[in-house]
């Protein structure tokens, strides 16, 4: 008779949440025990049924192992050396705010033109391994009529997808919001995978999508960097405790935490040598990443940036066709700078004044690093 092995946290080794953060030590997953399920010798009258059940178990285990391998392959591809993620998953409303800053209307044609500019920048795949897309973008074509997903794949960039349905006010709360999108998530995930997405921002591993785990901590406030770190530790401990409780395969996820910085209104600024800087201009975000890669890390640490890659690019474009090449050059400059930072080789020399300007927006999460969640 066949038997199957499943990995499951042992009741005797489940850790308290406090175990996930100990004096700055590396977060660790609880030990796992192997629980074996095997059938007793069947009665003659049930041999055929039991054999069928065994085949089902073997098939299920084979599929599970295959999916685990696929998840790890895509995870490690996104986290390849010297490359990171271009976050271009702004909702239509948020994209409209970006376009308004350069005097453009929020129309599908203008959104299409800007997204075409981004994905078709020559050689972008040398520095970008994955691109997070909004649902409209996943199904959208470039101004030349080519599927945006196909353009990314040709550049060696893995398409990803934002799967949530946005924030809505939480009734009776202190100005809190909750995120929509659990309803219909499985069917949407299947459709996204069919369209070419291979990883997802939010909370899904359905249909082979690699999940980005993103515990967000906003920059708003006057608090210092130590308070931010204290809160970050509590949030990360809570997140990883629950991931372990639910048997999440750590090697098959991408972690995208907020950068640990002083509050946006804090008078005392930090330096990259204090682990991370505040302010979050394009240059500072790159310096932060470079600082994190000055010594060996237990995980691959790279970037998942939106405005920190796009800010100067957007302003250079200004909605004018004649500025497309200059805007793409600005995007490639930022992408190459962060590529060097991922390798710990960025110097910051020759950066423009525009790239040094802060980009803080109240109530909006900052760009952050991401980490491949398995020891290298």
User: Annotated active-site positions, please?
Assistant: 214, 256
Question: What is the rounded CA–CA span in Å between residue 65 and residue 59?
Answer: 10
Distances (CA, A) of 87 to 173, 225, 297, 303, 357: 30, 25, 23, 10, 20
Pick the closest to residue 82 from 354, 370, 338, 353 (CA basis). Answer: 338
At residue 179, the 3 state secondary structure works out as strand
What DSSP string describes 278-310? SS--HHHHHHHHHHHTSS--SSEEEEEESHHHH
> Nearest 5°: phi and psi at 198?
-130, -5
Pick the closest to residue 4 from 31, 30, 38 (CA basis). Answer: 38
Question: What is the rounded CA–CA span in Å between residue 206 and residue 217?
Answer: 26
């Amino acid at each position: 008779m066949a038997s199957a092995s499943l990995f499951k946290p042992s009741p005797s080794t489940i850790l308290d949440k406090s175990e996930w953060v100990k004096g700055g030590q590396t977060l660790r997953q609880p030990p796992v025990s192997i629980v074996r399920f095997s059938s007793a010798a069947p009665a003659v009258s049930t041999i055929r049924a039991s054999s069928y059940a065994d085949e089902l178990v073997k098939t299920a285990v084979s599929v599970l192992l295959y999916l685990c391998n696929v998840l790890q392959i895509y995870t490690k591809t996104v986290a390849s050396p010297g490359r990171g993620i271009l976050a271009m998953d702004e909702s239509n409303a948020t994209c409209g705010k970006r376009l308004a800053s350069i005097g453009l209307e929020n129309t599908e044609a203008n959104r299409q033109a800007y997204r075409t500019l981004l994905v078709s920048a020559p050689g972008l795949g040398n520095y970008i391994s994955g691109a997070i897309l909004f649902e409209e973008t996943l199904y959208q074509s470039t101004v030349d009529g080519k599927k945006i997903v196909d353009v990314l794949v040709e550049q060696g960039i893995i398409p990803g997808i934002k799967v949530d349905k946005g924030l809505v006010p939480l009734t009776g709360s202190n100005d809190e919001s909750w995120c929509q999108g659990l309803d219909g998530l499985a069917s949407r995930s299947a459709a996204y995978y069919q369209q070419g997405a291979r990883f997802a921002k939010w909370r899904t591993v359905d249909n082979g999508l690699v999940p980005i785990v993103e515990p967000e901590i906003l920059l708003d406030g006057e608090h210092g960097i130590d308070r931010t770190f204290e809160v970050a530790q509590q949030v990360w401990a809570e997140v990883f405790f629950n991931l372990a409780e639910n048997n999440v395969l750590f090697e098959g996820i991408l972690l995208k935490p907020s950068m640990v910085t002083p509050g946006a209104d804090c008078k005392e600024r930090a330096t990259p040598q204090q682990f991370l800087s505040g302010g979050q201009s394009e240059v500072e975000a790159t310096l932060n990443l470079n600082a994190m890669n000055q010594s060996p890390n237990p995980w691959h640490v790279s970037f998942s940036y939106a405005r920190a890659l796009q800010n100067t690019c957007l302003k250079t474009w200004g909605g004018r066709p004649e500025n497309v090449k200059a805007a793409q050059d600005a995007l490639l400059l930022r992408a190459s700078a962060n590529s060097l930072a991922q390798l710990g080789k960025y110097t910051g020399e020759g950066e423009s004044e525009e790239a040094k300007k802060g980009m803080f927006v109240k109530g909006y999460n900052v760009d952050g690093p991401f980490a491949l969640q398995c020891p290298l």
